[in-house]
Amino acid sequence: MYDLFQTDRLIELWLQEDIGSCDLTAQLMLDADATSKFRMVAREPMIIAGIEVAARVLKRYDPGLTVNVLVSDGQAVSKGNKLMTVSGCARSIVTAERPALNILQRMSAIATETARYCKEIEGTRARLIDTRKTTPGLRMLEKHAVTCGGGLNHRLGLDNGVMIKDNHIAICGSIFKAVERARNGLPVLTRIEVECDRLEQVEEALQAGADVIMLDNMAIDEMRRAVKLINGAAKVEASGGINIKTIRDVAMTGVDYISTSKITQAAPPVDIGLDE
């Protein structure tokens, strides 16, 4: 779920960016007292994410608008489905429509792509998780969109868990030393994950007592050997270069989680319109 206080701060920035000092076209073309009613419609099948955020954009610009949300986040809709209606001051609606549509289209694209990836690994033990490779400033909302599509969130930020990577290992001298150092100051319920790109590192991470072992850019056969070696002693995450064509093979290795940035960085846009 997303924080409303942070969302409202973002909305202020979106509106300021798009409008500037005024909507010159609306001011020139529409009478101040003109009213209208618009409907927001899905122009293709999709999974909805961000519908309440879009409604909040419209109401933030003009609290006098009447916004009726007709769908929910996580809901699958078909082409032609009505998503919301908005009525009131015509100037306000046409001025705030683009920021509202932008965030709804972005979040729904991520949810739709996430659902597509999740479908590919149905019937396996693997769960899809996201990464920190998100649009600057939009992480909270993009990660919410991932959950709307059936995925899980990895770390929201660097303060959400310990992820020991190659640079940390190089500085500390070894995986064992890195895990030991982290463990000494770790909050009691926080897990330690170690990134490994070779089986020797997997063995060392096991010996060090890592809670989660990430198999980074490993070949499928090597992943299978790593899962067998770990044998349930730690959770296993596969990551690196995974896409819609390869994710099923990765899931079949027996890993617990599969992370990919494709669902947030490369989600194809979805088409949503606001029409009178």
CATH of the domain at 144: 3.20.20.70
Closest CA to 103 of 151, 48, 179: 48
Q: 165 catalytic, yes or no?
A: yes
Q: Are residues 177 and 215 in the same domain?
A: yes
Q: Are residues 150 and 254 in the same domain?
A: yes
Q: For residue 210, what are the contacts with CB-CB under 8 A and spacing of at least 6? A: 164, 175, 179, 192, 193, 194, 234
Q: Are residues 126 and 261 in the same domain?
A: yes
Q: 216 catalytic, yes or no?
A: yes
Q: 228 catalytic, yes or no?
A: no
Residue among 120, 130, 216, 237 flagged as catalytic: 216
Q: Are residues 74 and 127 in the same domain?
A: no
Residue among 120, 130, 195, 256 flagged as catalytic: 195
Q: Are residues 60 and 180 in the same domain?
A: no
Q: Are residues 94 and 153 in the same domain?
A: no
pLDDT by 10s per residue, the chain, length 276: 788 999 999 999 999 999 999 999 999 999 999 999 999 999 999 999 999 999 999 999 999 999 999 999 999 999 999 999 999 999 999 999 999 999 999 999 999 999 999 999 999 999 999 999 999 999 999 999 999 999 999 999 999 999 999 999 999 999 999 999 999 999 988 999 999 999 999 999 999 999 999 999 999 999 999 999 999 999 999 999 999 999 999 999 999 999 999 999 999 999 999 998
Q: Are residues 159 and 239 in the same domain?
A: yes
Q: 97 catalytic, yes or no?
A: no
Q: How far apart are CA 139 and CA 131, in angstroms?
A: 10
Residue among 39, 132, 133, 181 flagged as catalytic: 133
How many domains is the chain partitioned into structurally?
Answer: 2
Q: 133 catalytic, yes or no?
A: yes
SS3 per residue for 163-198: EECHHHHHHHCCHHHHHHHHHHHCCCCCCEEEEECC
Q: Are residues 248 and 143 in the same domain?
A: yes
Q: Are residues 146 and 29 in the same domain?
A: no
Residue among 98, 127, 132, 181 flagged as catalytic: 98
Q: Are residues 126 and 260 in the same domain?
A: yes
Q: Are residues 232 and 194 in the same domain?
A: yes
Q: For residue 7, what are the contacts with CB-CB under 8 A and spacing of at least 6? A: 53, 56, 140, 141
Enter the pTM of the model: 0.95
Q: Are residues 127 and 104 in the same domain?
A: no
Domain membership of residue 88 as a residue range = 4-112+268-275
- Structural tokens at position 126: 């693997």
What CATH number is attached to the domain comprising 76? 3.90.1170.20
Q: How many helices (H) and strands (E) does the chain have?
A: 11, 12
